[in-house]
Amino acid sequence: MATYVLIPGAGSDSSYWQFVAPPLRAAGHDVVTPDLPCDDDSAGLTEYTDAVVDAIGHRTGLILVAQSMAGFTAPLVCERVPVSLMVLVAAMVPAPGEAPGDWWANTGQKAARRAQDVADGRDPDAEFDPITMFLHDVAPELIPAVMAGGAREQSETPFRKPWPLPAWPDVPTRFLLCRQDRLFPAEFQRRVVRERLGITPDEMDSGHLPALAHPAELVDRLERYRVGLGL
């Protein structure tokens, strides 16, 4: 069986994976859900990587699953420990030397998000609402618990320094795009993944947070990736 390492996105923690980790464990896999020091202003991408590597310990057969901003951290983990597969889920894909804070302008995310808002009939200048942006396809009865337990302050520190790798690591990589993602619209992500990874992403129906909105399908996708590589 494999070891799934589930890395949360910005301003989140291991509770993000609360509906994904149990079925993976029930299938016989080891599952690691590290918490990142996202609210620590002294912590950057190096410390995020340290937290993941420390949580992994001596485990092997690693499948890294990186949500959103964790697309900057997961490749750094691959430089520290042997990884069998990296799965990026609705993730940011860094370019060599690019600071996470520059990624937004470099990729054209703001314009893409605005255009998608207009196309979908949302006011692009409306005040930010986390439910509208992130939880629009999460079951309504789950939203109070998610809002109460799954959000943390996100420090700006890891966004400031350049991503240190000269190239993408030599690790099998899959990208799972979420078609109803309002933060990273689908057509925007298709372009970024093609330009930066040279691959065609796989796609599923979900907003930005599939582990909360569509956990069963996400687990199924992860397991299909694993089986496809003979892990």
Q: Any alpha helices (H) in 2-141, and if so which ranges?
A: 21-26, 45-56, 74-78, 100-107, 109-120, 130-134
Percent of the chain with pLDDT over 70: 99
**pTM higher than 0.85:** yes
3-class secondary structure, 143: helix
pLDDT at 149: 65
Count of other CB atoms within 10 angstroms of residue 131: 12
Q: What's the whole-number mean pLDDT along residues 77-81?
A: 98
Q: What's the whole-number mean pLDDT along residues 154-171?
A: 96
Q: What's the whole-number mean pLDDT along residues 169-176?
A: 98
pLDDT at 105: 98
Strands 3-7 and 85-89 turn out to be unpaired
Residue 180 confidence (pLDDT) above 60: yes
pLDDT at 150: 56
Please name the helix (run of DSSP H) or strand (run of DSSP E) that holds residue 223, with its range, or none. Answer: helix 215-228
Percent of the chain with pLDDT over 90: 92
**In the block, which residue shows the tokens 């093609």?**
194
pLDDT at 144: 86
Residue 193 confidence (pLDDT) above 80: yes
Specify the range with the lowest mean pLDDT, choosing from 7-16, 143-152, 200-209: 143-152
pLDDT in tens, 17-32: 999 999 999 999 999 9
pLDDT at 145: 80
What the block records as the tokens of 39 is 């609210």
**In the block, which residue shows the tokens 């520290």?**
80
Domains defined along the chain, listed by start: 3-228 (3.40.50.1820)
Residue 191 confidence (pLDDT) above 90: yes
| pLDDT, mean over the chain | 96
Residue 109 confidence (pLDDT) above 90: yes
218-221: long-range pairs with CB below 8 Å, 24+: 218/20, 218/89, 218/176, 219/20, 219/23, 219/24, 221/176
**Contact (CB, 8 A) for 45 and 73:** yes
What the block records as the tokens of 69 is 């901003």
Name the band, by pLDDT with cuts 50, 70 and 90, for residue 1.
Answer: confident
Strands 85-89 and 173-178 turn out to be parallel
Residue 115 confidence (pLDDT) above 60: yes
Strand order in the sheet with 3-7: 30-32, 3-7, 62-67, 85-89, 173-178, 202-204
Q: What's the whole-number mean pLDDT along residues 124-134?
A: 94
Q: What's the whole-number mean pLDDT along residues 130-134?
A: 93
Measure the CA angle with vertex 193, ends 94 and 131; round to 5°.
80
